Each structure stands twice: as structure tokens, then as C-alpha cells.
Structure 1
Amino acid sequence: MIDCVQFMFSLRRFYRYLQVNWGNTLTLTRISFALLFIGCSNRASAQLNSSVLSQGAWYFLETSSDDVYVLDGDHLYVDMQLSAPVSFANLGLFSSSEGPLQEENNARRAEGLQELPTHHVDENNNGLFDQEDAIVFYSHGPHDWILEGGEVSLNFNHYSDVAGFFFTPDQGSGLQATQVMGVSSTTTVGDYDFLAFWKEDNVNLYRSGRRWLSNPMTTTNSSVSWNLDLSNKVNAAPLTVALRVASASESNATTQLRLNGQSISNLSLPSLGNGTYRDVARTASTSITSTASSGLSTFQLTYSTPDPQGKGYLEDMICHTRKNLTPSNGRLRFRDVSQVQSGGSATYAVSASSITPWLIWDVTIAYAPFGIVTSQSGSFLEFGVATDSLREFLAFDPSQRTSFPRPSYVGNVSNQNLRGIVSTDMVIVTSSAMQSAAETLANHREQGYGLDVEVVTIDQIYNEFSSGQTDLSAVRDFMRMLYKGAASPEERPQYLLLLGDASFDPKNRVSTGTRNIVLTYESPESFSPLQTYATDDFYGFLDDDEGSNIATTSQPNDLDIAIGRLPVATSEEAMALVEKIIDYDDGGDFGDWRNRVTFVADDEDNELHMRDADELADWVRLNQPNVNVDKIYLDAFTQVNAAGGDRYPSVNESIDRQLFKGSLIVNYTGHGGPENWAQERVFNREDMAELSNSERLPLFITATCDFSVYDDPDEITAGGG
């Protein structure tokens, strides 16, 4: 069996150190593959007994912005094709969406899908949702703003540009937003913090990590422009602009930001410089305080460099100012950082006519809005609230709902109940297209190893744990539910297998998405080859104090379950690999080759790779004296200068002979690339195509770079990524 795995990051990918337990037998009969690599307030640790999706009829809708939305008769009777008027008392709109899920395990999150308090528009008061009726509801949108140290920052959603909602005509309670009394305050406020951001996540220069940029500015197309609506801006309020830019140029570069034709910022960016592992871009940032009048303002960013091939990028820009509490098109969403203080309170005065029934909702928790009682003071609608924490509000006039956006109808949702899983040994996460292959492997694990295996689709996880949105943390939260909800440590899940490929591009911006099956964790860094990486470890950090900053060494996260991935793109690939695993388990040659370990080490680098291989080989000899250790070290062979560069033909031949003879494990340390090991191409695609060792398959452990990249959908590496 495989005892443990320790992951160490190196360059773009990570080293994987593996310990194999031979026990007391002279020969290891098999390495059991699944690939079993071991390694809210805190409401995510609580477990519901059942999902609301487990029964009844359900339909999925999406929104794209932070706004008030209207669900109307066309949704029910045209899109959903419901045949009879639905009772307001039985319908329900469910969601848990409030931006991207937090990676911290102890962050607040909804306990399952929540029925949203909404506003019903029943034109004839008959209690039925007729064609002319509607439901008005609040959508937080895909992104989020976070208050940190008195400053509001953007929490951009790297996984989705939409928020998800589930409508049911028969499983709801017709929940409407209730109203609460406000508080008295001597402080009256008539303005709020206006925030806007620009970010075009179109380009990922290294095709790794989470830092995405705008389309490039070049020497021939050197500027980009965009508008900012500052209508109702407080005249005396400054405009603060936080700007981040990037440059990929062999020469120094500059950017200039203009507001309404006037320069407000000039940034210098250094050249890319030299070095084998140099960054793919240089960055600069600034915060500017400027002035602007109420109305439409225009920004222009210009890039300049002597390098004709140089490219400049906008990473993002955030604007902050104060606006008057004046709604537009029948609604206004607002927050006010200025009044946040312990024991504080404020009365907000919203410019709103008394002729129509304006409503004020507190939407601080997006899936649990509630109304606040208001009073009319002339042309202002007033309400008082405590301001000891940052709160967010929505003012809207339901009679102007025709100007509100409508959610997009996606389709019906089949019943499911992941929250009904009591305990399991192993979870296989895959797509619906690969479910048959997953079930085949699950049956093999259950019958041959006595494991209890659950097969779930990635969409099922998203439905119950991220309100239908694509989100990395949803899979972790699902595993955490099983882990924390187990009656005893023995009943916790042990293994997680991800059946499907991954992509650095979760939104399918630069690729077709055919290899984007099950997300992988991408590092926050993208520009440095030494700091960017992908890993599935994130799914295994399940304790309360884990999940954030997973690369830290000062307080490292610990894997609580074994995690493996079969990086396949199609159902045919999935079934072929599953059959290969079953063949390995059930058949093959059980000769002495399974008691042999081979170490291959690269040359040069002051013998670093040879010393690493020797250290591992010595450990095996010391701890497993019955195991035979073979070495293939490049420095022990004659190097040949060939037409394509330096080569070690004898090394290629030795590796081929060793694989034909059979080796339980082949461990390589050294340089590598997508096509081969070492600069001398000692093990490459051509060598692999000639292998004839189907009855003597080894476990490859490669401490190298880019040989098994699995998160680039346009690069299928020799290592199988």
C-alpha cells in the first residue's frame, strides 16, 4: 500500500515524494491505483440531512450583475413550460450565491441552498402567479467587495461570470422579505461609497495561475479607453483610482493614464531582463487621487516602449468616490464605509418619490435580505440603521420592474441529494459524460478492495455547494462535509479521485473547454515560472484552520485525504484508462520485477540530481533491504554530439531495457520539458511509442519540470497531462 505523499513545489509544477510500504514480504504484488496519493461561520462543518433538490421540480437561472432582477410569467410559462398557474404559496427561489466562495474553511458560507426572501407582484391578488405577475429578487452577482482595514477591495471571481438561482413551483414556501424597524440616529447621510472596476481577463501570459490581463496594447495599437458614469457624484468628493498594469518588453516601458484628456498618472515598467527563469511580465501599480465632475468621464491608458514587439496590459483598475443617494431606473444599491464604527448609527436619506411604493432592503447577506421600515420626509425616503459593521442596502421601486434585468433561463435540474450521503471511503468526481467509466472503476474498487465508493458529477457538486456556479471551493466544501460529518474518524473519506482533465482557464476564455472537466487549484502568481503552479492538494485541506494561503511554509496545511487525478478529456479516454487500471490490478506478470526500483538522474548542475537520486536510493536500501535498486545516471554514460544537439543514446537504450525487464518504480530527478527528460532527450515520446511492457507497468515518479503538465488544454505533454 502507499503510506504517504509529501508535495513540494518546484518551478511551475511540484515534486511528489512517495513512500511505499513493502511490509514483511519479499515481493510487492501491486501498487493499488485509484491514483491513491495520500498525503459561514464555521457552518461548512455542519451537515444537512437532505438537499432541497432531492424532490420536486427545479429550474436553473443565471444572473450576471449585482442588481435587482425580475422573474416574470415568460420565465414560468414560456421557458419552463409550466402548464398551470403556480401558487405563490408553493413556489420558491433558492440560492447561496454571494460572490466566489471563500477558500478559508472557517469563513462564513451558506448551509446549503437557501430559499430567498423575495417581493411578490400579484396584480389581481388571487394568490396565483399569472402571466402578468412577477417576483422581484436581489442578486449579488459573481464578484464581491471586501472591507479590510477600513479599505474596500475587490474579490474577483476567477471561475464564473454568473450567479446561479434555482426556481421551484412546488417545493418552496413563497417566502417574502419581512420588514424590521429601523433605529433612531442624529446623523443623517445623503451619499454613499461608489465603487467600479475594470478587468478584462482575456490573456494569461504563462498559461498558469490566476493573474489574467486585458488584450494587449502594442506599438501600433497603443491605447485603450473606457467610460465611467459619475452621474450624481458629490461635487467635492475626490475620485480615487487604483491602477495595475503589466508590460512584456525587452526594453523599459511606460504607461500614461488620462482622465477626460488630462494626465493623472505615469508609470515606469522595467524590461523583462535576462535569465533562464525570468518573469514573463513586469508590473507596476499606483493609487491616484483626482477630481472629476458629475456626469460621464473617459479614461484612456496609453502604453509606450522602444521594443517593437513589446506589449502592455491593463490588469485592473478600481475607482472610488462618493455619490448622492439618487436611484436610477428604479433602483440603487449602496454601502457606506464612512459611518462604520463601534456603536455607530446613521439615518440614510434616499431621493425617492412618495407616489410609488419604494422599498429598502438590507442585502448584507445576499441570500437573506430583509426590509427596513422607512419614513417619507419630503422627497426623501429615510431609514435608520446601526453602523457598527459595513452593511449593504438596496432601494427599489417594484412598479418600475420593467426596467429591471431578467435572469437568463438555463434549463431544468434533475433531482439529486449529495447531502444525504452518510459516509463513504472514496469519492470519484467526474463529468456526466464520464460517469460510466467512473462507475466501472467504483465497482472494481468495491468488489476487489471492499471500499464504499460514491460517484458524483461536478455539476451536482456545484448545484449543492456553490449555487450552480463553477467554483473550486465547492468540491473542497463537499469533501469537508463528508469529513466533518463522519460519526467517527474511521468513517471519514480516505480517497478522492478526480476523473477528468483540468485547465488553467476555468472560464474557457482561450480554449474550447473540452479538457476543462474538474478544476484544479491555480496559484495566485502567474508571471514567475518559479512561483506559479497547479495542484489538487487544495481539495484535501479539510480542517477548520486550513484552506487559505496553501503554499505557506510557516503554518502549512496538511492533507487529510488521498487525492489523485486521471487527466482524461473524453469518455473513451476515461474508459481506456480505467480498463488499464483494472488490468494492472487483476492480471499482469507477478515476477521479481515488482521488487525492483530504478533511479534515473540528470547530469551537470554540480551533480545535484545525482546526489538527490543517491539519497533516495540509499533510503530504499536502508529501509527495504529486500528491494533491488538499479541506477541509470547520465554522467556514467558517454555523451554524443548529434545533429539535434548532445545526446545519450546509451541512456535511452538502458531505460528501454529496464522498462522491458520491468521495474516497480522508475524515479527521475533532473531537468525536463513537455516532450522528454533532460536536455539530451533521454526518455521521449518516440521512446514511449516503442515500449512493449504492457504486463510490467511501472509507477513513474518525476521530479522535473513540465513533463506532466495537466492544466494546459492546448498542450498534451509526454507525461500524460
Structure 2
Amino acid sequence: MKNYITACLLLLSTILHAQMDWGLGEYALYSTSKSGMHQLSGSELMAKGILNAGDSLSRLVLWNQTDGALSSTNSTSASTVSLVSLKIIDADGLLDMDSKVLFYLNTPFEIELLDSTYSYQAHPYSEREYFIVTATLSHLYDNKMSPYLHQGMSATREINESAQIWVYDTAVVNLVSTGRRWFGDLYDFTTLRTYTLPFVPKTGVPLEIEVSAVARASTSNTSLSIVGAGSVLFPAVGTSSVSHYVTEKTLKSSLFQTSANAQVSLSFDKAGNAGAAMWLDKLIVNYRTSNQYQYNDRAQKRFQNFSRGAGNVSLIKVSYTDSQPLVFEVTNKKEVTEISSVNTAGVVSWESSEDLQREYVLCAIGDAYLPEFERTSELNQMPYYNGIANLIIAPDSLMFQANRLASIHENSGLQTKAISLENIYAIINCGTPDIAAIRRFIFDLKSMYAPDLRYLTLFGDASFDYKDKLPNRSNLVPTFESYGSFSLYSSYITDDYFGYLDEGEGVNWFAEDLDLGIGRIPVKTILESTEMVDKIDRYLFAQNRLGPWRSKAILVADDADHAWEKEFAVVQDALAKRLDTTRPELSLIKIYADAYQQEAKPGSQRYPTAREKLFREVEDGALLVSYIGHGGEVGWATERILQLEDIQNWTNSINMPVFTTITCEFTRFDDPNRVSAGEQLLLNPIGGAIALFSTTRSVFATNSTYDINRLLNQQMMSLESPRLGDVIRTTKNNNISGDKIKFSLIGDPAIPLARPELAVVMDSINGQLWTEFNDTLNALSWVHVHGYISETVNPGLINDFNGNVWLNFYDKSQPQSTQVNDGSGTSFNFTTQTNAIFRGIASVKNGSFELTFRVPLDINLSVGSPKVSSYASDASRDAWGGDASLLIGGIYEGIVTDNEGPEVRLFINDTLFKSGSISGPNPIAIGKLSDESGINAVGLGIGHNISLTLDGESISANDFYLSDLDDFTSGTLAYPFYDIAVGRHLLELRAWDVLNQWGYDSLSFIVLDHDEPILNHLLAYPNPFTTEVRFNLNHNQQSETGILSL
């Protein structure tokens, strides 16, 4: 480590952050768990490279934040970082092995005595106090501790006792695994406990005792007692699902000691309630002791002088044995002074002015505490982040991938930097963890160096366990935990805390506007962080990322177990109508559970068809997935329409949707003992979601929560080039519901939604301008369309666009209804528009395209509006379009000459497959279909579906058929099967042309265990050979391609 740091770094601890001149430099970080005088030895300073032998000790500088937990209020003058006063013990002031440096540090928890009263506040984020040790180039700071001389003062009274406070606060259990309240000793089988004070109190003076505890009991007659000093009753806990888990009481009383040993006993009376239990919050005892100092027990002696009186002076006397203690006044923690005391016959004495309540510490040099070395590190100061728009915060352990993610955004034109959490703590709080330090850093950064900062990524998991008490330590980047800790319904977690950045904000932030779009990527390990950055990179830049999936939205609703729950589908369908109106480009897939047949299972019900539909649609890819209904940390709905198994099995590695959920704690991210379903959905390394706008705590189904869902989807569709951070920020700023605090963006806020930015324009149909076409299209009529790719802001042909366009020509909306499977409420009627008259691909050349197809006979013959959804892409750009202005219905009356059904060929996995060959349990059925009039995939004619039949069980496969490029007469069916049983199977394929003439093919195949590689049908040709040979074989493994040289 360098033996100096720049003067800019030294200004780190200037009282006003706004006046700091930030620079780069190295430092050593230490910590302690004790309040009192501490010591660094010359050997320690040399070993850690802080100073070298012979260096002037005047160059040594210590920084510390002295005021406990930081304030949550934003302020340009809020810094409490200060120099630490040093007592240097050395003969010549030059560093050697015998040098010693003494200084005072306070623990992060706060105990204050004031006029015989006291207050106690545990630090919410740390049980250790941290401080920074550096060395200057020269003696820039006067931080030497000077003796304080009480000159001209005459004592008016003598003080032979001191006030002491003893706090017992073990905090080992969080009862509901939420919030920031932790509790200690359990009173259950053991109902009486005795606690011994560390010092003997003075006789004749009562102990002032305060006890706080919580209890869980079904009756209201259980009680807490201070033995010999009173009791208090606990109320009974509530019985509803949203009731608090425990009730809370505080008991204050006085107790005179009857023995030499100072003890306090507490008891819990269950009052006959065997299931009752009590947990101790804290025990505080305020008492007086005689003035005596015991050497070499490293306990030190704290002295509070309660005597007050203008113009009065106390003479304080403390007896000691062995070495004489030094006396330090620590009333002002930022200006600790050494007191000039008098030593006479084993008594040290000094005068103390009574103008204010004063506090002292007595410590022999050998009793000074030894701090614990943490690390050396180098600061990246604020100018390094000048002008950024996107900030990534990560723990040191994940900084490699955080920097990689920053580079990805930098390369796409968004100025981004990553900073370690430890660096923030060092800059703002001298290393002590505190979430307010994170916000203060962001506040200072945006105020002084990065006014255009818009996005914040928290790159690491969080936990309600701020202090790492539990074995599964996942508090890598903390979140704000509510003070309410007794119910998942009344508690919350939120990262919004870091986004309120105006001067004076930070306290009443429920009513304030967010200044940042904030997202969290809840990774815990290097592997998870690598996989997530890989996943984001694929979503943004993979060569095959473009595709029709970017124009598909999936809307999912729970069923109605109770009559009011019908609104799940009603609200979701209202969103569908709004999207269909504002974004006709979207193809909407509605999966309303109650519209499917419910199946009874032992002890429960299931919707297997709805679950399979959801799984397949996500696997195929989608831009958005929206869900409303019941849910939790393991999935959606009591009927389990989404399960952890589904989430873990998705392999949509590029075409990953953004999920929005209006449910309960589906994406809770602060439980170190469980990875929630929402987290797993994001962390799936080869599929699932790219991000989630999701609930992290229980919410109620109200208009305000539904409004959040509406706003989220509306913002994603209406904002120009929306990044996910913009979506969550504007949604929350436009919603006044208290429940908005329970929604979080889980994912990268700097990611732009994979929404096409160009437009597909249909300009003519059957030789007429699209906007002037007034004819009605008929069943069996020919349709010829022409279109082009255009800008959206400045419409016009983009003549360098060369790629493909996918066209979905849907028949009129079809009426559907829910089935009231659980017998609650009434049916809900809605419509779907997913019956494809034609689904095919055409080439786009110089921005233009055209295609032809024939309308199937099986359309709904009533006249109405079809929907035309289109998507196009070239090598790097994509476009979409939507139109519902045409009319279709009736039958073409011309002559039809096609009298033959389609040619049908069926394969497994690839077109080289031979009937009787082998496969794994997840094969893909491939059908090659052709007919001069085209294939019927509309799905409205009875018995005219494209159907696959596996071992006698038929499956409609219309949605899995796509016409070939520029050829409506042929196309390919690709239908994935999952978890087919081991053994021989018969698969049949039947397809119809648009005239309802059919074709058929079948094959058999053998499923073998996927984990057991098997080869068969091995063919080598030519045989014999001279220079080369080709092999053709079947196997049951996942397909991989490689080239081997022999």
C-alpha cells in the first residue's frame, strides 16, 4: 500500500460533503465493537503499510463518523465524518516499534444520559464501528489530542459516584422474517431468567429498569414481570390472516438490591396457556456505582457527571489499583480531550465544570482496546462518475460482472459506471454499513457531478438480516426494511428509498416523486452474476434476438374461488381492450384460468391445459406477460397454473418477456432462507424472464393495485423507447396508492424494452389502396397484400431495410366465457382473436414486401373485422404493425379446381428421422405440409384442425404451423412435446387444406432416458470409401454441432 494519499482524499472527511474536493487514494479500514479508548501500535501501522519506520507520526490521520445511524434527510451539509483526535505516545514523534497511538471510538449503538434520564438506540445496520486510517504527504491536519486544563477553577462539591447504563439486547431472531425488529431470549419452556450486571451498584440507590418484550398468546392474561418490581399484561394476538404475529409491551420500574450481587430477574406468566411464548426485546438498567477503576480487565471506566449548576465545579475522585489511568473527556465525541488530572495515593482526581452534563473515560494504556483490521482498499471518488446516466452498485465480490454490465450499457451509448458498496460506505460513512450512506452518495453524486443520472441498478441480493446473524448471508446490497415487523401484510421492503433525491426529502417519501428508475438484480454468487450479465447481453445483442415474439403479449388471470374474484379476469380483460386499442400491433394471448376445464386432484384442483398453454407460450417467447390473481413465493394460484418446476424448465434463452404481477409476495427478495419464484424466474440462466415488475409483499386486490398494473403496461407501450427504469419511475409517480411501495423492478432498469421501433405499413390489398379498400373478403377468396417498412416519427419507406416480414391474419373475434368452475359468482364473457386465417413469412426487399394466400373455408362466415398483425426484421432493426379496418365474411362464389388434399410428412426432431428411431423425452414433432391452395390452420371448423395424435390422444396444433418464406402453399409444423414416458409411441399427423381436404402421416418412435446416450440407425456412405466418408445416425441427446479433425 502507498504510504500516502492525495490531499483530495483527505478532504473526504471535511464536515460538508458539498465542499469536498474528491480524489483517489488508498486507506486502511478497521472496526471495533466497543466504546472507549483504542490503540494502534507502531508495529501495526508498519505491518499494514500505513507508515514506514522513521516517518513522522504527525502524518497519521484517522476518520470516523461519530453520530450513530445517519439521518435519512437529504442535505448538502449532512456529513458527520470527522477527524479523530489522537494521543501519540512516542519519545521523538517518529514511528518505531514502541510507538503507540490512543484514540476514542464510540460503538454504533447510541446510549445517551441526560439529566438522570437515558435513551438507547441500537444501530439498525451494524454492530461494529468502522474507521479509516490514512497518511498525509505532510502534516495537513492538527488532530493531536491536547490536555485540557481547568485553570482557575475551584471545586464546589466532591463527586464519589457515577451513573451507569447497562443494556442487554441480544437480537437473535426475526419472528416473521420481515422488517428490522429482532428479539432475544425466548420465554417458553423456561419462563424465569436472571441477568447479572457487570458492576456492583451503589447501595441505597434503586435500579431504574426498563424492559421491552413481545408475546404470542391466544388469551389476554399472560404477563411480563420484573421480579419484585411489578408486571404488565399482554393483549391476545388477532385471529385473522393479516393479524400481527405478536403483541408488544414495555414495563418500567425501580428495584432496590437486597444482595451484593446486582441481578435483575424477569418472568413470563403463561396463565395456563401452554402455547404462549414471550421474546425479550431489550433490558436496560440505569444505576449508580462508586468511583473505582480496576486495571487490566479491559473494561475501562465510564463516568457520567449528573451534577448541574451554573458556576459550579465538581471535584471527581476515582480510586485505582496498579497503574494510574489516564482521563479523557468524551462529552463531544468529535473533540475528545485528555484531562489534566492529579494522582494522590491511589486516587486520580480532576475538576469538572457543571455548565453541562459531562462524560469521561478512564483508561490505563494497557487497557486500551485493540481494533480489528478489515482491509486496505482504494477509493474511486465522485469525479470518476462525472456525467453518468446509469449507476450500478455491487458488493466487492461481484464487481467484475458489475463492471462488465456497465461496459455493455456504455457500448450501447448509455454512460454507465459501477461502484462497490464498500467504497460508498468508506466515502460517506468511514466504512460503517448504513443504507442512508447509499442514498447520500447518490444524492451528492447527482447534485454535484451527474445531474442527468436516471437509473440505479442494485447488483446483489438483499436480506431482512442486515447484520448477517443468519447462516445464509445474502445481504449483499441492502434494501429498506419497514419498521413494522410483525406481519407480511403490514410490512414492506422497497428500493424506492434510494430514489428520492431532492433537498430535504427522505422522511415522508411515500408522498414524494422518484428521481430515479431503480431495479435490483438479486444475485448472490459469481456464477449467478455471470449468468445474469450473459442473459442481459443476449437480450440486447444476440444475433437471433429479433423475432415475432417481440409483438406478443400474454395476459393471465386466476379463477374465482370466491364471487368477488371474478374481477381478476374482468380487470385483465379491460387491460387487453386498452392494449388492443392503443397497440393493435400486439398479438394478445388470453389465459383466463376459469375459461378452462378444471380437474380435481386429491385435496386440490388444477388447470393442466391452462398451465401447459402458459408454459408453451412463454417458451415460444413474448414481449410481455401480465398476471392478476392469488400467488406467493412458490408460484401463481391455488390451482398452481405456474409452478417452480415450470420456471426452472423454461429455456427461452433469448425471447424472454417482461413479467408484471398483481399478486402477493411472488418476488420477495429479502428472505435468505428462500429464493422466491419471482427471483428464480429472473435468475433462470437459460430462460424465464428478463425482468419483473412484481410484488414483494402481500397486497390486496383493490382498484389502486389494478391501476398499478394498468400504468405499468401503459407506460411500456406509450413511452418512446422505454427503458424499464423509466416505466417503474413514471408508474409510481403517477400512482398515489400506498401499495406502490410493495412493487419493485427486479431486473436491470437500463434495459430498453425489446419493442420494435419501426412500423410495418400495409398500403394495398388486391390491387387497391388499403385505406380505400371497401370490399369484403370471402372464404376461399384470394388475398394479395403489399406493404413497406417505415419510420414511426417521420413516416416513409426505409429503402435499406432487407429482411423478412411475418404476417398473422386473424379471423374475427370469437366469444368466450369463464365456466364458474368453483361455483362462485357468475360467468364472465370476453372475446379472443387468435384464429389465424393465414400465418406466413415474406421477403422484404428495399423496404417493400408482398404476399398472397387463400382464405380458408372454415372462417366464421358472418361479416366482421379481422385483425392483421405484422412483424418484420432485418439484421439489426425490427418493425411491427396492426390493423383492424378490413371486413371479412361470406363465401367466394367462383370456381374452385383443387380436388386433392395436402401432402403430409411427419418427423421427430429433424427431417432425417426414420420411423422406429429413438428420441429423448422432450422431442419436437416436425410436419412438412404442402397444398396448392394452402393449409387450413384457422381452427374454427369441426374436426378440421391440424392435429397431432400421440398414442390415441389428439392435440390441436394450429398455432404451431407457419407457411414457408414467400410460399403460402407449403409450411412447417414444429410442436414440442415434454416429458414423454420411456417406451415406444405412435404419433399421427392429420392436416387439411383451405378447402377442407385432408392428408395424413404417422410414425413410431422410442423414448429413452435422456441421460443415457444411445445411437441407432448408423449408416456410413460411401462404403467402401477412399478419401472421405459420411455418417448418418439417430441419437437421443440434445442437439449439438461440432467439427472434429481425425
Query: Fold match, TM over 0.5?
Result: yes
Alignment of 1:87-236 (within 5 A): 87-106=56-75, 109-110=78-79, 112=81, 114-122=82-90, 125-145=91-111, 152-170=118-136, 173=139, 175-178=143-146, 190=159, 193-219=163-189, 221-231=190-200, 233=202
1:639 CA drift (Å): 2.5
Distance in structure 1 (CA, Å) of the matches to 2:318 and 2:70: 35
CA gap of 1:95–1:337, structure 2 versus 1, over 3 A, is: same
Please say if 1:709 is aligned against 2:672: no
Amino acid of the residue matched to residue 371 of structure 2? P
Please say if 1:484 is aligned against 2:447: yes
Say which SS state the counterpart of residue 287 (structure 1) adopts: strand
CA gap of 1:654–1:177, structure 2 versus 1, over 3 A, is: same
Q: Find the counterpart in structure 2 of residue 465 from structure 1.
A: 428
Please say if 1:283 is aligned against 2:274: no
Q: Find the counterpart in structure 2 of residue 48 from structure 1.
A: 20
Distance in structure 2 (CA, Å) of the matches to 1:107 and 1:563: 22
Say which SS state the counterpart of residue 440 (structure 2) adopts: helix
Please say if 1:298 is aligned against 2:260: no
CA gap of 1:192–1:110, structure 2 versus 1, over 3 A, is: farther
Alignment of 1:576-595 (within 5 A): 576-587=531-542, 588-595=544-551
Q: Find the counterpart in structure 2 of residue 499 from structure 1.
A: 459
Q: Is the 8 A contact 2:14 2:20 kept in 1?
A: no
Please say if 1:649 is aligned against 2:617: no
Please say if 1:440 is aligned against 2:400: no
1:202 CA drift (Å): 0.7
Deviations 1:661-695 (A, max 9, x none): 54322121221122110111111122224434334
1:293 CA drift (Å): 7.1
CA gap of 1:437–1:50, structure 2 versus 1, over 3 A, is: same
Provide the aligned length of Structure 1 versus Structure 2: 653
Say which SS state the counterpart of residue 550 (structure 2) adopts: helix
Please say if 1:682 is aligned against 2:641: yes
Q: Find the counterpart in structure 1 of residue 558 from structure 2.
A: 602
Q: Find the counterpart in structure 1 of residue 530 from structure 2.
A: 575
Distance in structure 1 (CA, Å) of the matches to 2:589 and 2:185: 51
Say which SS state the counterpart of residue 108 (structure 2) adopts: coil
CA gap of 1:313–1:493, structure 2 versus 1, over 3 A, is: same
Distance in structure 1 (CA, Å) of the matches to 2:193 and 2:498: 39
Distance in structure 2 (CA, Å) of the matches to 1:91 and 1:178: 16
CA gap of 1:689–1:411, structure 2 versus 1, over 3 A, is: closer
Deviations 1:586-625 (A, max 9, x none): 2345344433433322233513434543454455456545
Say which SS state the counterpart of residue 197 (structure 2) adopts: strand
Distance in structure 2 (CA, Å) of the matches to 1:215 and 1:172: 52
Q: Is the 8 A contact 2:192 2:265 kept in 1?
A: yes
Please say if 1:312 is aligned against 2:278: yes
Distance in structure 1 (CA, Å) of the matches to 2:512 and 2:59: 45
Higher relative contact order (CA 8 A, sep 6+): 1
Amino acid of the residue matched to residue 575 of structure 1? T
Say which SS state the counterpart of residue 197 (structure 1) adopts: strand
* Deviating more after overlay: 472-481 vs 308-317: 308-317
Higher-Rg structure is 2
Q: Find the counterpart in structure 2 of residue 31 from structure 1.
A: none
CA gap of 1:689–1:63, structure 2 versus 1, over 3 A, is: closer
The unaligned stretches of length 5 or more in structure 2 are 1-11, 681-1046
TM-score using structure 1 length: 0.81
Distance in structure 2 (CA, Å) of the matches to 1:108 and 1:263: 50
1:107 CA drift (Å): 10
Picking from 417, 420, 426, the partner of 2:390 is 426
Q: Is the 8 A contact 2:13 2:63 kept in 1?
A: no
Q: Find the counterpart in structure 2 of residue 245 from structure 1.
A: 213
Amino acid of the residue matched to residue 118 of structure 1? L
CA gap of 1:333–1:46, structure 2 versus 1, over 3 A, is: farther
CA gap of 1:66–1:446, structure 2 versus 1, over 3 A, is: same
CA gap of 1:623–1:181, structure 2 versus 1, over 3 A, is: farther
CA gap of 1:316–1:642, structure 2 versus 1, over 3 A, is: same
Q: Find the counterpart in structure 2 of residue 30 from structure 1.
A: none
Amino acid of the residue matched to residue 394 of structure 2? T
Q: Is the 8 A contact 1:97 1:467 kept in 2?
A: no
Amino acid of the residue matched to residue 212 of structure 1? W
1:137 CA drift (Å): 0.7
Distance in structure 2 (CA, Å) of the matches to 1:105 and 1:392: 31
Q: Find the counterpart in structure 2 of residue 369 from structure 1.
A: 336
Q: Find the counterpart in structure 1 of residue 373 from structure 2.
A: 409
Say which SS state the counterpart of residue 58 (structure 2) adopts: coil
Distance in structure 1 (CA, Å) of the matches to 2:64 and 2:105: 9
CA gap of 1:580–1:130, structure 2 versus 1, over 3 A, is: same
Say which SS state the counterpart of residue 594 (structure 2) adopts: helix
CA gap of 1:512–1:392, structure 2 versus 1, over 3 A, is: farther
Distance in structure 1 (CA, Å) of the matches to 2:17 and 2:47: 40
1:419 CA drift (Å): 6.3
1:196 CA drift (Å): 2.3
CA gap of 1:127–1:447, structure 2 versus 1, over 3 A, is: same
Deviations 1:521-552 (A, max 9, x none): 111121122112221111112223222365xx
Identity of aligned residues (%): 25
Amino acid of the residue matched to residue 572 of structure 1? L
Q: Find the counterpart in structure 1 of residue 742 from structure 2.
A: none
Say which SS state the counterpart of residue 504 (structure 1) adopts: coil
Q: Is the 8 A contact 1:231 1:294 kept in 2?
A: no
Q: Tell me how large the CA RMSD over aligned residues is.
A: 3.6
Picking from 374, 378, 382, the partner of 2:351 is 382
Distance in structure 2 (CA, Å) of the matches to 1:481 and 1:178: 34
Say which SS state the counterpart of residue 400 (structure 2) adopts: helix
Say which SS state the counterpart of residue 445 (structure 1) adopts: helix
Q: Is the 8 A contact 2:155 2:351 kept in 1?
A: no
Q: Is the 8 A contact 1:230 1:293 kept in 2?
A: no
TM-score using structure 2 length: 0.57
Q: Is the 8 A contact 2:306 2:358 kept in 1?
A: no
Picking from 500, 512, 519, the partner of 2:478 is 519
Say which SS state the counterpart of residue 720 (structure 1) adopts: helix
Distance in structure 2 (CA, Å) of the matches to 1:480 and 1:668: 35
1:176 CA drift (Å): 0.9
Say which SS state the counterpart of residue 461 (structure 1) adopts: helix
Q: Is the 8 A contact 2:64 2:430 kept in 1?
A: yes
Distance in structure 1 (CA, Å) of the matches to 2:207 and 2:416: 56
Amino acid of the residue matched to residue 49 of structure 1? D
Deviations 1:236-267 (A, max 9, x none): 64432221112234555634444xxx422323
Q: Is the 8 A contact 1:203 1:213 kept in 2?
A: yes
Distance in structure 2 (CA, Å) of the matches to 1:701 and 1:169: 52
1:181 CA drift (Å): 7.0
Distance in structure 2 (CA, Å) of the matches to 1:497 and 1:432: 15
The unaligned stretches of length 5 or more in structure 1 are 1-39
Q: Find the counterpart in structure 1 of residue 594 from structure 2.
A: 635
Please say if 1:557 is aligned against 2:526: no
Amino acid of the residue matched to residue 539 of structure 2? Y
Q: Find the counterpart in structure 1 of residue 362 from structure 2.
A: 396
Please say if 1:671 is aligned against 2:671: no
1:635 CA drift (Å): 3.0
Distance in structure 1 (CA, Å) of the matches to 2:305 and 2:571: 57
Distance in structure 2 (CA, Å) of the matches to 1:237 and 1:46: 50
